[in-house]
Amino acid sequence: MTKKFFITGTDTNIGKTTISGILLKKASNYGYKTAGYKPISSGVKKYKNIASNIIQNKYQFINEDAYILQKNSSVFLTYKEINPISFIENAPPNILNLINKKKIEKKNLSLGLKKIAIKSNWILIEGAGGWHTPISNKYTFSDWVKEEKLKVILIIGIKLGCINHAILTEKSILSDNLICSGWIANNIFPSNKYTSYYIQTLLDYIKSPLLGIVPYLKNTNEIKINKIKIKLPE
């Protein structure tokens, strides 16, 4: 049976993609055929001299998150399989959907997931922003996750305000009768004298298991996987 996990976070820019890459590598080391899936992305970056086995030349302007997921997947997937819906601008999906007159259908997100599940047995699906990020004027990412009955991994960026955001996010996930497979604390700043207090408070309030604590990573392109202590979710 294919394992599928949805990665969400307490905010945007708190390291969901970096940690997704780490988890994909760790799962691959355990023998899984891993794949990352970024159904909707916003914001692109120009990449030069990308290897042909990673991405096709016509996709030189690509989303960085989708590229990282593709690079860290153990099975070969085209860029379009990894990221079927992409916007050039960097803004919430529902706003870009309206401006660009693109109709995002939940069934298309599900179709992309089914195609990837044919090739892999361990999939990480990365959302956008937080748990209730709207993807249209009718539904949010969490509505789709609920329909697919996906297990959820919560990434908590350790900073002021994260405790409240984490508690509210987990409560919402559990109220939707979904399984939160665990949470990961990500130190997004080089130093924070309150980190240990944040972690302990989160342990007191968050019901889901702690999968790991990621230290501040100065250079995410040179991550030593064996030195990052994260448990694979069940």
Domain residues of the chain, as ranges?
3-163+175-207
DSSP class of residue 72? H
Question: Does 222 score more than 80 pLDDT?
Answer: no
Q: What is the pTM of this model?
A: 0.92
Q: Which of 3, 4, 26, 38 is catalytic?
A: 38
Q: Which residue has the higher pLDDT, 59 or 148?
A: 148
CA distances from 32 to 3, 20, 66, 184 (A): 10, 15, 20, 21
pLDDT at 166: 98
Superfamily of the domain at 3-163+175-207: P-loop containing nucleotide triphosphate hydrolases (3.40.50.300)
Q: Which residue has the higher pLDDT, 162 or 48?
A: 162
The alpha carbons of the chain give a radius of gyration, in whole angstroms, of 17
pLDDT at 50: 56
Residues 26-56: tens digit of each pLDDT: 999 999 999 999 999 999 877 665 554 454 5
42 is in an annotated binding site: yes
31 is in an annotated binding site: no
* H or E, element range at 6: strand 3-9
pLDDT at 59: 47
Label each residue of 148-169 as H, E or C: HCCEEEEEEECCCCHHHHHHHH
91 is in an annotated binding site: no
AA letter at 155: I
Question: Does 201 score more than 50 pLDDT?
Answer: yes
As to burial, measured by CB atoms within 10 angstroms (0-12 exposed, 13-18 middle, 19+ buried), residue 23 is buried
Q: Which two tokens stand for residue 205?
A: 């309030």
Indicate if 227 belongs to the active site: no
Residues 82-139: tens digit of each pLDDT: 999 999 898 999 999 889 888 889 999 999 999 999 999 999 999 998 999 999 989 9
Sign of the four-CA dihedral 35, 228, 194, 182: positive
Strands 61-62 and 45-46: antiparallel
pLDDT at 49: 54
Mean pLDDT, the chain, as a whole number?
Answer: 91
Percentage of the chain modeled with pLDDT above 70: 93
21 is in an annotated binding site: no
Q: 1: pLDDT confidence band, cut at 50, 70 and 90?
A: confident
pLDDT at 44: 86
pLDDT at 161: 95
pLDDT at 97: 87
